[in-house]
């Protein structure tokens, strides 16, 4: 794996305790984990937690993690998703080191195991329809009824299963079921389906097979065939563990994995259901799977989240057994912590107001030295052009300033970042509307670099951009996708989660002036627009069009809103 081992800094959890005990007892010489995504969509931040857990544990304990695609349903799987999943895992910083597998690699083994179950009287071919199987299964309070086909002979079952394998029957006419216990208190143990007929082209095996194993059947057996020691699943699979163990107990598998469950990630102000994410895409609520408002890994990457920030977030939230809703601010905090240390600083003005330095020569221009990152001086400095006309933020000027307002106002002196002290001497307005068109100031040439030789101090420091040298950018200001922490909370009462979409989740500002150094930054480059937030150059950027995505503001603007809602 490509990441540096750092077990000594890792917070322990119940899974690590189990692994420590297993290794101490000599149960395993090393550990093998696996990350088994189904290639039927794009991964999201919830999958990132599982990726970081499985690959991280293997890394820390000197084992390995298998990337295994659960490709047992050819109706929904595509190579596009396989490629995107590989990209996401690799981007997060993990390397499967040749341990790349597919459930389809084991189709022949799984078929052979199914024959063994039939021969041992532990599986049978059933002719009930899907609806009838559901009806016969019973409920939590009512035991199930045995299928009328449950007592077929071994010979008849073998013949029917072989005919299923050869494509002799239409879809839905037969299934292979495990013969367990129709009165079992766990509904998953009531003769579950383990093979169904699907006459569909498979992205890897083509038309070789027309019967496909179910996930519950393939999961544990694939783990055993790969030598997985610790099979880590989210809590919804806890009720499936007896079935996982049952198949392993009945068959001559080469190894004996154990399944352990942990709480899945539930993140506030978004949804992590693949079905709901598909709805958002299909109904045009977002611009696709990689829309920066989406919780998908490709969406977060496009928005500007770094791989390190997502790994740190997953470490921060930890691994437990109980349900919890993680506040979005924790993910945003992880982004700020990382980007503060790694992102270059540039200046840009989102809501520009022109300032004219009336005593600065009209034909003069110069370059000022600016620090690229005060948190990492090794990132060096850059040269920022300066001229008579500059842009500042509209909010950085008040004609009639309130108390404790320390920015520019008539008669007030402020500092330009890396530049000069300036003093407002006049305000130019539209004669009809009264709108402020520009502000006239004088500059003090003795204060170049932002310090006064006579020791006088100013309280306000403003960022700015030279009007003559700036380039223009389309800036996309992204915010949380929903206005409620849990958009699905009222679903049982008939509420639609999309009723809680945030209408202000995207605000686009055209033609924002930014300093020209940003021209050197290609798509995916992260930076901080000083005093405004962290941004990323979007892939929509072309030589004649710069597009910036806001990753997060410098501060959590939702903190006060959330506090008010709780109050």
Q: Is 275 a catalytic residue?
A: no
How many whole angstroms separate alpha carbon 176 and alpha carbon 164?
A: 9
- Beta partners for 76? none
Which is the catalytic residue, given 38, 146, 238, 389? Answer: 38
Cα 401–Cα 405–Cα 408 angle in degrees, nearest 5? 70
How many whole angstroms separate alpha carbon 333 and alpha carbon 561?
A: 17
Task: Check if the beta carbon of residue 552 is closer than 8 Å to that of residue 545.
Answer: no
How many whole angstroms separate alpha carbon 170 and alpha carbon 84?
A: 33
List % helix, strand, coil for the chain (3-state, nearest 5): 30, 25, 45
Which is the catalytic residue, given 165, 264, 354, 448? Answer: 264
How distant, in Å, are the alpha carbons of 301, 309, 311 from that of 305?
5, 7, 11
Strand 526-529 and strand 344-346: pairing? parallel
Q: Is 135 a catalytic residue?
A: no
Task: Check if the beta carbon of residue 94 is closer than 8 Å to that of residue 1.
Answer: yes
Q: Is 38 a catalytic residue?
A: yes
Task: Check if the beta carbon of residue 31 is closer than 8 Å to that of residue 58.
Answer: yes
What is the per-residue DSSP string for 408-452? B-BT-EEEETTS-EEEEEEEEE-TTT--EEEEEEEEEGGGTTS--
Residue 218 tokens read as: 């393939």
How distant, in Å, are the alpha carbons of 16, 17, 30, 208 from that of 22?
10, 9, 9, 41
DSSP 483: S
Which is the catalytic residue, given 86, 165, 256, 274? Answer: 274
How many whole angstroms separate alpha carbon 190 and alpha carbon 135?
A: 12
* Residues tagged active-site: 38, 264, 274
């Amino acid at each position: 794996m490509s990441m540096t081992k750092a077990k000594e800094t890792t917070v322990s959890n119940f899974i690590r305790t189990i692994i420590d005990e297993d290794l101490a007892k000599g149960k395993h010489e090393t550990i093998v984990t696996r990350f088994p995504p189904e290639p039927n969509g794009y991964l999201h931040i919830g999958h990132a937690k599982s990726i970081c857990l499985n690959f991280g544990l293997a890394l820390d304990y000197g084992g390995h993690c298998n990337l295994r695609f659960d490709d047992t349903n050819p109706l929904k799987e595509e190579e596009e998703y396989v490629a995107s999943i590989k990209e996401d895992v690799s981007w997060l910083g993990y390397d499967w080191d040749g341990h790349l597998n597919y459930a389809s690699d084991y189709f022949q083994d799984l078929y052979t195991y199914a024959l063994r179950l039939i021969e041992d009287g532990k599986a049978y071919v059933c002719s009930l329809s899907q609806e009838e199987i559901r009806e016969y299964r019973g409920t939590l309070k009512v035991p199930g009824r045995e299928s009328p086909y449950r007592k077929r002979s071994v010979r008849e079952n073998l013949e029917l299963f072989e005919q299923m394998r050869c494509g002799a029957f239409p879809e839905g006419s037969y299934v292979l079921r495990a013969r367990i216990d129709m009165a079992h208190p766990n509904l998953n143990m009531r003769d579950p389906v383990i093979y169904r007929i699907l006459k569909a082209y498979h992205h890897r095996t083509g038309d070789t097979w027309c019967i496909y194993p179910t996930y519950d059947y393939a999961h544990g057996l694939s783990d055993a065939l790969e030598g997985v020691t610790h099979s880590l699943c989210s809590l919804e699979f806890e009720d499936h563990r007896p079935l996982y163990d049952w198949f392993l107990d009945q068959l001559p598998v080469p190894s004996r994995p154990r399944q352990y469950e942990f709480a899945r990630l539930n993140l506030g102000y978004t949804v992590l259901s693949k079905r709901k994410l598909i709805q958002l895409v299909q109904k045009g609520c977002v611009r696709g799977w990689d829309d920066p408002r989406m919780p998908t890994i490709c969406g977060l990457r496009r928005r500007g989240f770094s791989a390190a920030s997502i790994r740190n977030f997953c470490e921060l939230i930890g691994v437990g057994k109980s349900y919890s809703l993680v506040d979005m601010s924790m993910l945003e905090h992880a982004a700020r912590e990382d980007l503060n240390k790694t992102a270059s600083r540039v200046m840009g003005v989102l809501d520009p107001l022109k300032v004219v330095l009336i005593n600065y020569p009209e034909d003069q221009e110069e370059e000022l030295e600016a620090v690229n990152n005060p948190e990492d001086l090794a990132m060096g400095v850059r040269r920022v052009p300066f001229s008579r006309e500059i842009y500042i933020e509209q909010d950085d000027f008040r004609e009639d300033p309130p108390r404790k307002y320390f920015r520019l106002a008539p008669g007030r002196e402020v500092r330009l970042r890396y530049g000069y002290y300036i003093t407002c001497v006049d305000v130019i307005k539209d004669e009809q509307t009264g709108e402020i068109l520009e502000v006239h100031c004088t500059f003090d040439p003795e204060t170049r670099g932002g310090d006064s030789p006579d020791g006088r101090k100013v309280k306000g420091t403003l960022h700015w951009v030279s009007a003559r040298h700036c380039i223009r950018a389309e800036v996309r200001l992204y915010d949380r996708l929903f206005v409620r922490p849990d958009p699905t909370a009222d679903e049982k009462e008939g509420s639609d989660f999309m009723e809680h979409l945030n209408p202000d989740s995207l605000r686009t500002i055209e033609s924002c002036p930014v300093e020209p150094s940003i021209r050197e930054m290609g798509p995916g480059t992260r930076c901080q627009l000083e005093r405004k937030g962290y941004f990323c150059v979007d892939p929509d950027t072309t030589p004649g069009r710069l597009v910036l995505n806001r990753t997060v503001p410098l501060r959590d603007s939702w903190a006060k809103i959330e506090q008010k809602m709780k109050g």
